[in-house]
Amino acid sequence: MAKYTVLITKTVQKQLKKLPDEIAERLEEEMLNLENDPRSRGSRKLKSRDAYRIRIGDYRFIYFIDDKLLMVTVIKVGHRKDIYR
- State the total domains in the chain: 1
- Overall pTM surpassing 0.85 (yes/no): yes
With respect to residue 30, please indicate whether it lies within any of the assigned structural domains. yes
> pLDDT tens-digit profile of 3-46?
999 999 999 999 999 999 999 999 999 999 999 999 988 899 99
Q: 1 falls in which pLDDT band (50, 70, 90)?
A: low
With respect to residue 85, please indicate whether it lies within any of the assigned structural domains. no
Query: Which of residues 2 and 9 earns the better pLDDT score?
Result: 9
Spatial distance between the Cα atoms of 21 and 39, rounded to a whole number of angstroms: 26
Q: 85 falls in which pLDDT band (50, 70, 90)?
A: confident
pLDDT at 54: 94
Q: What CATH number should be reported for the domain holding residue 71?
A: 3.30.2310.20
With respect to residue 27, please indicate whether it lies within any of the assigned structural domains. yes
Name the residue type at position 25.
E
The domain containing residue 25 runs over which residues? Answer: 5-79
